[in-house]
C-alpha cells in the first residue's frame, strides 16, 4: 500500500513510519518540522519506499501519485509547543485536517485522525469512556489544541456522512518512549532529562494529578490495528494504557530508575491542567483486539536508555 503519514517526522509519527516500512508499505511522510526532526527519520531516508516532503498541512498539498491510507498525525502535541503559536495550532487541526480530508476524498483513501484524550478536557467522568462528551474550557490556553481536535473529529464525521470517506478516529492518551525531544516539555521527557543531569525535577502543582502512560510501540500497534479494522469501525476509540499514576509517583519512579540525586521542586500548576486522566479501553479490546503490552517500568527503562545514549550519559 501507499500510505501518507502527516507528522511523520515527529515522535509517534516516526515510529509509525518505521513499522509501515517494515511491513513493506510505501510511505509518504509530510511534515513541516515544527516539532519533528529529520533525525527521527534519518534511517528511512535511504529507503526507496520512503519519501519525505517538507510541507505545512495548512497549505494545500498535491500528490503526484494516489495513496490508499492517510494517518493524520500532524499537530504539535506538547502544551508548551502547541501554545507557542496557538493560531497556527488551531489552523493545523481545522484547515489542515480539511486539506488532508480533501486528499482522502479525491484518492478514496482511508483517513485516520490522531485525536486526543484532551477532547475530554478536565474530565468529570472517570475513567473516560468514548461516550463522555468532555469538559473543555473553550477559550482557555489549551483550547487551541482541545477545540481544534474536537473540530477535527466533527469534520471527519461530516466527510464520512456526506462523501462516504472511510474514517478512523483514535483518541490517543499520553504516550512516551524513545525519540521524545529533550525540549518537548511533556512530563516524562522533562523528568528523564532532569533526572539524568541531577537537575531539580519540576512538579507542577501538588503532583496529585494523574495520567496514564502508554509506550509508543503499543500506541503504534493500536493505530495500525484501527486503520485496518472493518469499515464500520469509525471510532472514536480510546487507545492508551490504563495504568494510572500520580505525577509524584512518576517523579519518584524516574528518580529511582535513573539513579538520580535530583531533588523535587514545585512550580505553579498551569491553567486548566486536567486533574485525572485514565482511558476506558473496553472498545479497543473488544473491537480491535488491542491492549497495551509494555508496563510503565519497562517502558521507562527503554526510554531512559535512549535518552542516555542521545545525551552521552
Ligand atoms: P510531535 O510534536 O512529536 O509530532 C507532531 C509532528 O507534526 C511533528 O513532526 C511536527 O513537526 C508536525 N507538524 C505540526 N504541525 C504541522 C503542520 N501544520 N504541518 C505539517 N506538520 C506539522 O507529537 P507526537 O507526540 O508525535 O503527536 C503526534 C500526534 O498524536 C499529534 O496529532 C498529537 O496531537 C497526537 N497525540 C499525541 C499524544 C502524546 O501523548 N504523544 C497524546 C494525544 C494525541
Ligand atoms: N508536568 C509536571 N512537570 C513537568 C511537565 C508536566 O508536573 O515538568 C505535569 C503537568 O502539569 C500535567 C502532567 O504532568 O499535570 C502531564 O503533563 P504533559 O504536558 O506531559 O501532558 P498533558 O498535560 O497534555 O497530559
Give this prediction's pTM.
0.98
Atom 25 of ligand 2, nearest CA residue: 174
Residue 285 is assigned to a structural domain of this protein: no
Overall average pLDDT of the 186-199 stretch: 98
- Residues 170, 63, single domain; the answer is yes
79 within ligand 2 shell (Cβ under 6 A): yes
Total domains in the chain come to 2
231: confidence class by pLDDT, cuts 50, 70, 90:
very high
237: confidence class by pLDDT, cuts 50, 70, 90:
very high
- Residues 136, 231, single domain; the answer is yes
**Does the pLDDT of residue 222 top 90, yes or no?**
yes
- Residues 17, 146, single domain; the answer is yes
Pocket probe mutation, ligand 1, options 19, 33, 35, 84, max atoms within 8 Å of Cβ? 35
Q: Are 172 and 239 in contact (CB under 8 A)?
A: yes
- Residues 207, 133, single domain; the answer is no
Measure the CA–CA gap between 253 and 106, rounded to whole angstroms: 49
72 has which bridge partners?
6, 113
Helix and strand totals (H; E) in the chain: 10, 13
- Residues 165, 45, single domain; the answer is yes
**Does the pLDDT of residue 99 top 90, yes or no?**
yes
- Residues 100, 46, single domain; the answer is yes
- Residues 81, 186, single domain; the answer is no
- The string of pLDDT tens digits covering residues 240-253 is 999 999 999 999 99
- Residues 23, 60, single domain; the answer is yes
- Residues 82, 107, single domain; the answer is yes
40 alpha carbon, closest ligand = 1
Residue 283 is assigned to a structural domain of this protein: no
- The string of pLDDT tens digits covering residues 123-153 is 999 999 999 999 999 999 999 999 999 999 9
Atom 19 of ligand 2, nearest CA residue: 186
Across the chain, mean pLDDT equals: 98
285: confidence class by pLDDT, cuts 50, 70, 90:
very high
Q: How far apart are the CA of 130 and the centre of ligand 2, in A?
A: 23
- Residues 122, 205, single domain; the answer is no
**Does the pLDDT of residue 176 top 90, yes or no?**
yes
- The string of pLDDT tens digits covering residues 17-27 is 999 999 999 99
192 within ligand 2 shell (Cβ under 6 A): no
Residue 203 is assigned to a structural domain of this protein: yes
224: confidence class by pLDDT, cuts 50, 70, 90:
very high
**Does the pLDDT of residue 256 top 90, yes or no?**
yes
Q: Which protein residues touch ligand 1 with a CB less than 6 Å away?
A: 6-7, 9-13, 31-36, 56-58, 73-77, 92, 96, 114, 116, 172, 174-175
Domain that residue 256 falls in: 177-211+243-277+294-311
What three-state secondary structure class fits 54? strand
What per-residue confidence (pLDDT) applies to 313? Answer: 84
Q: What is the CATH number of the domain that holds 257?
A: 3.90.25.10
Residue 289 is assigned to a structural domain of this protein: no
Cis peptide before 236 (omega within 30 of 0): yes
184: confidence class by pLDDT, cuts 50, 70, 90:
very high
- Residues 163, 269, single domain; the answer is no
For residue 16, which of 212, 239, 263, 256 has the smallest C-alpha distance?
A: 239
Say which residues have a Cβ less than 8 Å from residue 39's Cβ, sequence separation at least 6: none
72: confidence class by pLDDT, cuts 50, 70, 90:
very high
What per-residue confidence (pLDDT) applies to 86? Answer: 98
Atom 3 of ligand 2, nearest CA residue: 203
- 171 backbone dihedrals φ, ψ, rounded to 5°: -90, 100
Q: What is the CATH number of the domain that holds 141?
A: 3.40.50.720
- Residues 83, 206, single domain; the answer is no
Residue 282 is assigned to a structural domain of this protein: no
Q: Are 75 and 8 in contact (CB under 8 A)?
A: no
205 alpha carbon, closest ligand = 2
Residue 302 is assigned to a structural domain of this protein: yes
Residue 249 is assigned to a structural domain of this protein: yes
Residue 79 is assigned to a structural domain of this protein: yes
Burial of 10 (0-12, 13-18, 19+ CB in 10 A): buried
Amino acid at each position: 500500500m501507499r500510505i501518507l503519514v502527516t507528522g511523520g517526522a515527529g515522535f509517534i509519527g516516526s515510529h509509525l513510519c518505521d513499522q509501515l516500512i517494515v511491513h513493506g508499505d510505501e510511505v509518504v511522510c509530510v511534515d513541516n518540522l515544527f516539532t519533528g526532526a529529520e533525525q527521527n527519520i534519518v534511517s528511512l531516508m535511504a529507503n526507496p519506499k520512503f519519501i519525505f516532503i517538507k510541507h505545512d498541512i495548512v497549505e494545500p498539498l498535491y500528490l503526484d501519485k494516489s495513496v490508499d491510507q492517510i494517518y493524520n498525525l500532524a499537530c504539535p502535541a506538547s502544551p508548551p509547543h502547541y501554545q507557542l503559536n496557538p493560531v497556527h495550532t488551531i489552523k493545523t487541526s481545522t484547515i489542515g485536517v480539511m486539506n488532508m480530508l480533501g486528499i482522502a476524498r479525491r484518492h478514496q483513501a482511508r483517513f485516520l485522525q490522531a485525536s486526543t484524550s484532551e477532547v475530554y478536557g478536565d474530565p468529570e467522568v472517570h475513567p473516560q469512556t468514548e461516550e463522555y462528551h468532555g469538559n473543555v474550557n473553550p477559550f482557555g490556553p489549551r483550547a487551541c489544541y482541545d477545540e481544534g481536535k474536537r473540530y477535527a473529529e466533527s469534520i471527519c464525521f461530516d466527510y464520512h456522512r456526506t462523501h462516504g470517506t472511510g474514517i478512523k478516529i483514535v483518541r490517543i492518551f499520553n504516550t512516551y518512549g524513545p525519540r521524545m525531544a529533550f525540549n518537548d516539555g511533556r512530563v516524562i521527557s522533562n523528568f528523564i532529562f532532569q533526572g539524568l543531569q541531577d537537575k531539580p525535577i519540576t512538579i507542577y502543582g501538588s503532583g496529585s494529578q494523574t495520567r496514564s502512560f502508554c509506550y509508543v510501540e503499543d500506541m503504534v500497534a493500536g493505530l495500525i490495528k484501527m486503520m485496518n479494522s472493518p469499515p464500520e469501525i469509525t471510532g472514536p476509540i480510546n487507545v492508551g494504557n490504563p495504568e494510572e499514576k500520580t505525577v509524584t509517583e512518576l517523579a519518584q519512579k524516574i528518580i529511582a530508575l535513573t539513579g538520580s540525586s535530583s531533588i523535587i521542586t514545585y512550580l505553579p500548576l498551569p491553567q486548566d491542567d486536567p486533574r485525572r486522566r485514565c482511558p476506558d479501553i473496553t472498545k479497543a479490546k473488544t473491537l480491535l483486539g488491542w491492549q497495551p503490552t509494555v508496563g510503565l517500568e519497562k517502558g521507562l527503562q527503554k526510554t531512559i536508555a535512549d535518552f542516555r545514549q542521545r545525551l552521552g550519559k
